[in-house]
Amino acid sequence: MAVIISASQLLGDLDDPEARPVLLDVQYQMGGPPGRELYERGHLPGAAFVDLETALAGPPGTGGRHPLPDPEVLGAALRTAGVRSDRPVVVYDGGLGWSAARAWWLLRWAGHPRVRVLDGGLAAWPGEPVTEEPTPEPGDFVPRPGGMPTLDADEAGALARRGVLLDARAPERYRGEVEPVDPVAGHIPGALSAPTSENLDVDGRFRPVGELSRRFTELGAQPGAEVGVYCGSGVSAAQQVLALELAGVPARSTDS
């Protein structure tokens, strides 16, 4: 199944009872207003809010800023939002695809077979956002973890020595020139800088598959290579994994 969906295709699917997806709003800004506040300012009609900090990640601590959530907590949040095992899901955020990709990655990790990210996010929607909050019919989805491959810190370091490990953060963080969030600056030895901003065009949509393939091939990340991705907390790394999947390259990701 495709991993992204255009706004025009989503409009058509919403009018088709057979294809109509569950819509999840996962707007999030690091250091910005809470996601719930962003959702209340405007969201897609019928979309339910899922909070990145409390549903799509466990409590921060020794496991990182956004460790994998408890499957029971994740499942409860998704069922409240109306997620069902037999219905497709479309997730979106404010535009860069970071938190939407985190939701996509987690749903895939949890075993949901049909999840797509709205390409361009809320900014790509042709209509006016709404403020009315829906009351979804409770879903039935029960997470079964293990659907996406992960990397821990030791495995990431080892992969950088034998394969291709991509650092999804901004170049200045990779170089250690600034570090606004984490206690240690710099990057994992052997990792290559691959900022997620370069996966998108000027409109905030994913670049064409051919361009993504060329980009990753130049980094050595191509079909058949062992590829891993990391960032500061596992959010922007998920966007990189999604871009790699568009390019036909499976990749493992750190989960926090």
User: Which contiguous run of DSSP H or E holds residue 91?
Assistant: strand 89-92
Residue 4 and residue 206 in contact, taking contact as beta carbons nearer than 8 Å: yes
* Residue 197 DSSP one-character state: G
- Give the residue among 125, 91, 129 at the shortest CA–CA distance from 8: 125
CA separation for the pair 137, 53 (Å, rounded):
23
**23: region left, alpha or beta (phi > 0 left; psi from -120 to 50 alpha):** beta
Residue 11 and residue 128 in contact, taking contact as beta carbons nearer than 8 Å: no
- Give the residue among 199, 208, 183 at the shortest CA–CA distance from 240: 199
**42: region left, alpha or beta (phi > 0 left; psi from -120 to 50 alpha):** left
Neighbouring residues of 243: CB distance < 8 A, sequence distance ≥ 6 = 196, 199, 206, 212, 216
Active site residues: 231
Which two structure tokens, joined as six digits, stand for 138? 């409770």
Taken as a whole, the chain contains a residue count of 256
